[in-house]
Amino acid sequence: MNNPFIINTYKSRELFCDRENELQLMLRNSINHTDMTLISQRRMGKTGLILRLFDEIATVHPDIHTIYLDIFSSRNIDDFIKLLAEATMKSFKPKTTIGEKLMTFIKTMRPQLTFDNITGEPQLMIAYQSPHEKEYTLRGLLEFLDSQEVPIIIAIDEFQQIRDYPEKNMEALLRTYIQQTSNLTFIYCGSKKHLMADIFNNEKKPFYSSTSFVSLGKISAESYSSFIQRLFNEYDRDIDVEAIDFILDWTRRHTYYTQQLCHTIFADGEHHIGISEVKAACEQLMQQGEAIYLQYRQMLTVKQWSYLIAVAKEGTVSQITAAGFLSRHKLGSASTSQRLADALCDKGLLNDDISVKETTYSVNDVFFSHWLERL
């Protein structure tokens, strides 16, 4: 029996909770050729939402083509081109007109083309003579897509990765090529909020103000609650309302953690789920994480570790320089506190949630946060 609480990728709309507003907004932007930037904390559901959007488009606008690539693993412009070309090949099936034209075009890149034994997916190796040739290939690929005269949406996940490329002109190049297209709509997605904001919101940078922002917060308690109820019921399980409230509270409605906890409860196999079954699953998850949490401790200084515990004990901290917080946890001065918080955000262990009024800090990994609370 399949576990309906998915924890790795998008499966189907039945197993996907809500996001209706975001979906409609992104659908409208897609139809209107409005490029988008999708930013949120890690594991809130950006990738899932893009795949949900593409699923919707396949149903209601089958004329629009979609291409998804995740550039997290890319180290340079070569990798970027390779990932874009492979994603394009995956999107246009070989026996279609565009698919055939694409194969002809790909061959002009003189790649070594192989197919993965297991997935059957194309893998390209392209040898370049010069940096100029790479730029030419990248532009050629985008021009090829644009010249097909069909609307195409290209989602580039973990887009901030381009900031790590040795080619420092990557942003300017991409922006220039993209600006010259008219049938392509882009979705830039990323979890490193500060980098993403700098790429799209810094007037000195090429992508400044070129996209419409879509922000992704938490799913509402009402939606998540009925989603959880429905999925358990569909598998002949029943779950108490208090148990659901406990799940949403304990996981702070941070999508991945909510899904993971429900996944574990479901896997535990009880037919009636009350608070005690939920608590048992929470214990299980914290225990499973322990080896990694102890590795984090190795990575950090004693002060950073104590700081993490302090934030975890508070749950969320809106004023990290406030006297109360500093003295409660013996953290020293306000500037020390700010420095520690910045360093831990950089390492991805703390999350800073910036609103107009204040910046709220919390431990990024919800299960880790609960584990730290007890120290």
Ligand X SMILES: Nc1ncnc2c1ncn2[C@@H]1O[C@H](COP(=O)(O)OP(=O)(O)O)[C@@H](O)[C@H]1O
Q: Which residues bind Mg ion (CB under 5 A)?
A: 46-47
Binding residue for ligand X, selected from 4, 16, 161, 331, defined by CB under 6 A: 16
Decide if residue 134 touches ligand X (CB under 6 A): no
d(CA 346, CA 53): 30
Decide if residue 42 touches ligand X (CB under 6 A): yes
Q: What are the C-alpha distances in Å from 345 to residues 308, 356, 373?
A: 10, 19, 18
3-state secondary structure of 273: strand
Selection from 63, 20, 22 nearest residue 40 by Cα? 22
Decide if residue 19 touches ligand X (CB under 6 A): yes
CA angle 34, 92, 14 (to 5 degrees): 70
- Residue 167 CB, shortest distance to ligand X, in Å, is 25
Nearest to ligand X of 47, 74 (CB atom): 47
Nearest to Mg ion of 160, 211 (CB atom): 160
- Residue 116 CB, shortest distance to ligand X, in Å, is 22
Residue 25 binds what, of Mg ion, ligand X, none (CB under 5 to 8 Å, by partner type)? none
Beta bridge partners of 359: 354
- Residue 46 CB, shortest distance to ligand X, in Å, is 3
Decide if residue 178 touches ligand X (CB under 6 A): no
Beta bridge partners of 350: 363
Decide if residue 231 touches ligand X (CB under 6 A): no
Q: How many residues bind ligand X (CB under 6 A)?
A: 21
What kind and span of H or E run contains 252?
A: none
d(CA 158, CA 153): 16
- Contact criterion met (CB below 8 Å) for 218 and 253: yes
Decide if residue 193 touches ligand X (CB under 6 A): no
Nearest to ligand X of 180, 288 (CB atom): 288
289 by Cβ neighbours in 10 Å (0-12 / 13-18 / 19+) ranks as middle
Nearest to Mg ion of 46, 65 (CB atom): 46
Decide if residue 44 touches ligand X (CB under 6 A): yes
Nearest to Mg ion of 46, 52 (CB atom): 46
Decide if residue 73 touches ligand X (CB under 6 A): no
Residue 350 binds what, of ligand X, Mg ion, none (CB under 5 to 8 Å, by partner type)? none
- Residue 47 CB, shortest distance to Mg ion, in Å, is 3
Residue keyed to tokens 């300017």: 172
- Residue 44 CB, shortest distance to ligand X, in Å, is 4
Beta bridge partners of 160: none
Decide if residue 250 touches ligand X (CB under 6 A): no
Q: What is the DSSP string of 196-226?
A: HHHHHH-TTSTTTT-SEEEE--PPPHHHHHH
Residues that bind ligand X (CB under 6 A): 6-10, 16-19, 40, 42-48, 191, 255-256, 259
